[in-house]
Structure 1
Amino acid sequence: MNFPFYIAKRYIFSKKSTNVINLISGISVLGVAVATMALIVTLSVFNGFSDLVATLFTAFDPQIEITPTQGKTAPADDPVLTEIRQLPQIDVATECVEDQALAVYNGRQAMVQIKGVDDNFDQLTHIREILMGDGTFELHAADIQYGIMGVRLADQLGTGIYFDQPLKIYAPRREGQLDLSDPADGFVEDELYSPNCVFEVLQGKYDSRYILTSIGFARRIFDQQGMISSLELRLKPGSDFEETKAEIKRIAGDSYQVLDRFEQQEDTFRIMKIEKLIAYIFLTFILLVACFNIIGSLSMLIIDKKDDVQTLRNLGANDRQVSQIFLLEGCMISFFGAFIGVLVGLLLCVLQQQFGIIGLGSTQGSFIVDAYPVSVHPTDVILVFLTVIVVGFLSVWYPVHYFSRRLLK
């Protein structure tokens, strides 16, 4: 058995001559455990929110979106896109034309994102599951063009779920010279009618800006005949997603971007990752402060065991082995604190998942979920455990060597 480790283990569990040393050692373990528990719980909450956002996006976003790398649009009959459509793994392919426009209803107006899609958009996404109202997913009927808007946009324009008057849509005219005597001539005007329903994604980006309509309407108002802004895909069940995505990227080359759901919402998930990183850094500083208790505990233990150290030296222990004894004891305090903190943190996460102990608000139903979501990732648990061990070691290494030289001479 390793001699310094054997002695350090005896010291940490043996009774000290002064009870306050036992108390300080217990406080040290408790402090490290609380900091470790806070790291586990906080990172799991961030994971829970990230997973929650990811599930919300799936009702509107396609599995794979292909967009041109240069410019806003690309020819719909591009041979590259045709080859991608014909891949055996593709189940549904939808052409989209998307751009900004001005919506006006009864004197109210708002800048909106018009998204024109094919009639099979409901097969591509789960749009039918997030519709509110008596209507159904319908983009056009004969010459009538319908517009399915987000629930917040409907409230902003005052249309409600059903609007009995046409919704005016204005888009800048792309060709021709502007007649300064008639500024209205610089806009293309068209109308959308109510399909008796709105959608609710529970994300402000969509609910307060987007209007779904037919691709024919979007091409006409944005003057994009024969063009698309994106090609959206759904794979057949059982297809290997990563392998298919790699194949599509190979075919697309440098002309198109191939984005999965997470990459389509890159900004949102990047912000959440940054917030998680900042929380991790701040809590690591708190952990470092908690490790200062270990320094106090070890310094008092060195004083308490001064006579024992002299005995060990008489038995042949050198200064390096003596320092290792107290360094290992500091590491053991960090280890026990980390172990207890991880167990308690995981227990709290399980209780929150099962019973929703800490709610998001006093009124049930005010938020998407009633309690803080948590999701434990094994990589986070390993990261926290290693962080505690490394921080504990670094925080006691210099003090142990300093006190060993000063107090044990």
Structure 2
Amino acid sequence: MNFPFYIARRYLFSKKSTHVINIISGISVVGVAVATMALVVTLSVFNGFHDLVASLLTSFDPQIEIVPTKGKTAPADDPILTKIRNLPQVDVATESVEDQAMAIYKGRQAMIKVKGVEDNFSELSHINDILYGDGEFSLHAANLQFGVVGIRLADNLGMTADWDGQLKIYAPKREGQLDLMNPTEGFVEDSVISPGVVFSVKQARYDRDYVLTSIAFARNLFGQQGMLSQLEIRLKPGSDLDAVKAEMQKIAGSKYRVLDRMEQQADTFKIMKIEKFIAYIFLTFILAVACFNIIGSLSMLIIDKKNDVVTLRNMGASDKQIVRIFLFEGRMISAIGAILGILVGLLLCWLQQVYGLVSLGRSSGSFIVDAYPVSVHPEDIIIIFITVLAVGFASVWYPVRYFAKRLIQ
């Protein structure tokens, strides 16, 4: 049996001659537990928002997107893209042309992004799940070109789901010089009509800016005949995404980039990770402050056990073993606080998931969810536990050695 650990355990759970030491020890455990609980809950809330955003993007973004590394477009008949399309794991592949334009509807105007897609776009994405209105998803019919507008863009332009008239779209010509005497000649003008629906991804960058239309319309508008901005792909069920992506990147070489959903929204998720990391750092500082209570508890315990230290030395205990007794005492307080904090934090997360105890305040009902989303990731729990132990152990190491050596002398 580890002698210092055995003595430290007895000191921790036995009554002290001065009752206030027990109280301070309890406060130390509670302080560490509260800081640990805050870490668990806060990081789980960040995970909840991360997972929520990721789930929303699946309705619009492709599973895999292939984009040129240089320039905005690439030839649609590029042999590299053809080889990627023909991979056995590919279920659906659709070409897309996307660029900025200006839209005008009944005197209102807005800068938009026109995304031209092929007719199989509904097979690639979950666009039908996010449509609102009495119509259906359609890009063209005979000579008519339809435009499916984001719900916030429709609101900005004064549209309904079944808006009447034409949405005029203007894009600058790719060739020639702008004649300032007749600036309208420098733009390509075309128009789309409503299929009776709008879409709502519940992401501002889509709902506020995007108009979905046929790829033929977009190519004509932007002068990109035979070109594509990206090749969007959905894999067959059961395919290994990482393995297929690596194979596609090997085929694409340096000419194209192969992006999964997370990489397509790299900026959004990078910001969320930074916010989560900053929250982790701040809460770790709070944890370090809470660990100062352990120092106070241990210093009083060392004074209280002065006679015991003399007895232990007479029984043959070395100075190193005596120091380790109080080090183990501080470590056990940290470990108990960490375990209690994690358990309470997990309980609170479960209650939030099931009952939504903490709502989004007066704004609830205006967002996708009414209560703060929570998602517990096992790796976060492991990191939190290691962090608490490391901070707790580091905070007591020098003070315990200092006070214990003074007592031993």
Q: TM-score range by the shorter chain?
A: over 0.9
Q: How does 1:222-371 map to 2 (within 5 A)?
A: 222-362=222-362, 365-371=365-371
Other-structure match for 1:401: 401
1:168 to partner: Cα distance: 0.8
Other-structure match for 2:6: 6
- Taking the aligned partners of 1:358 and 1:401, their CA distance within structure 2 comes to 44
Matched AA of 2:156: Q
Matched AA of 2:249: K
- Does the 8 Å contact 2:32/2:337 carry over to 1? yes
1:364 to partner: Cα distance: 5.2
What is the CA deviation profile of residues 303-326 of structure 1, one whole-angstrom value per residue up to 9, with x for unaligned ones?
Answer: 000010011111111211111110
Other-structure match for 2:35: 35
Which secondary structure does the structure 1 equivalent of 2:212 belong to? Answer: strand
1:405 to partner: Cα distance: 2.0
- Taking the aligned partners of 2:223 and 2:272, their CA distance within structure 1 comes to 37
Matched AA of 1:100: Q
- Taking the aligned partners of 1:97 and 1:294, their CA distance within structure 2 comes to 62
- Taking the aligned partners of 1:362 and 1:156, their CA distance within structure 2 comes to 24
Aligned length, in residue pairs: 409
Q: Mean alpha-carbon deviation: is it higher for 187-196 or for 238-247?
A: 238-247
- Taking the aligned partners of 2:325 and 2:378, their CA distance within structure 1 comes to 32
Matched AA of 1:85: R
Matched AA of 1:371: A
- Taking the aligned partners of 1:190 and 1:40, their CA distance within structure 2 comes to 54
Other-structure match for 1:121: 121
Query: 5+ unaligned residues in a row in structure 1: which ranges?
Result: none
Q: Mean alpha-carbon deviation: is it higher for 171-180 or for 198-207?
A: 171-180
- Taking the aligned partners of 1:54 and 1:148, their CA distance within structure 2 comes to 23
- Taking the aligned partners of 2:172 and 2:393, their CA distance within structure 1 comes to 64
Query: 5+ unaligned residues in a row in structure 2: which ranges?
Result: none
- Taking the aligned partners of 1:220 and 1:396, their CA distance within structure 2 comes to 71
What is the CA deviation profile of residues 244-301 of structure 1, one whole-angstrom value per residue up to 9, with x for unaligned ones?
Answer: 1111111111100000111111111101100000000000000000000000000000
- Taking the aligned partners of 1:6 and 1:189, their CA distance within structure 2 comes to 84
Which secondary structure does the structure 1 equivalent of 2:361 belong to? Answer: coil
Matched AA of 2:141: A
What is the CA deviation profile of residues 348-376 of structure 1, one whole-angstrom value per residue up to 9, with x for unaligned ones?
Answer: 11111111111113465321011111111
- Taking the aligned partners of 1:382 and 1:326, their CA distance within structure 2 comes to 26
Which secondary structure does the structure 1 equivalent of 2:231 belong to? Answer: strand
Matched AA of 1:407: L
Q: If the length of structure 1 is used for normalisation, what is the TM-score?
A: 0.99
Other-structure match for 1:25: 25
Matched AA of 1:333: I
- Does the 8 Å contact 2:173/2:188 carry over to 1? yes
- Does the 8 Å contact 2:67/2:258 carry over to 1? yes
- Taking the aligned partners of 1:114 and 1:350, their CA distance within structure 2 comes to 42
- Taking the aligned partners of 1:129 and 1:179, their CA distance within structure 2 comes to 45
- Taking the aligned partners of 1:138 and 1:372, their CA distance within structure 2 comes to 36
Change (3 A) 1:394 1:364: closer
Matched AA of 2:32: V
1:408 to partner: Cα distance: 3.3
Matched AA of 1:228: L
Matched AA of 2:194: S
Q: How does 1:39-118 map to 2 (within 5 A)?
A: 39-118=39-118
- Taking the aligned partners of 1:125 and 1:46, their CA distance within structure 2 comes to 26
- Taking the aligned partners of 1:163 and 1:366, their CA distance within structure 2 comes to 24
- Taking the aligned partners of 1:408 and 1:313, their CA distance within structure 2 comes to 9
Matched AA of 2:146: Y
- Taking the aligned partners of 1:280 and 1:177, their CA distance within structure 2 comes to 54
The runs of 4+ residues in structure 1 deviating greater than 3 Å are none
- Taking the aligned partners of 1:364 and 1:378, their CA distance within structure 2 comes to 29
- Taking the aligned partners of 2:362 and 2:105, their CA distance within structure 1 comes to 36
- Taking the aligned partners of 1:32 and 1:177, their CA distance within structure 2 comes to 69
Other-structure match for 1:130: 130
1:120 to partner: Cα distance: 0.5
- Taking the aligned partners of 1:243 and 1:386, their CA distance within structure 2 comes to 32
Matched AA of 1:358: V
- Taking the aligned partners of 2:156 and 2:180, their CA distance within structure 1 comes to 31
1:197 to partner: Cα distance: 0.7
- Taking the aligned partners of 1:127 and 1:84, their CA distance within structure 2 comes to 24
Matched AA of 1:139: L
Other-structure match for 2:213: 213
Which secondary structure does the structure 2 equivalent of 1:371 belong to? Answer: coil
- Taking the aligned partners of 2:163 and 2:279, their CA distance within structure 1 comes to 46
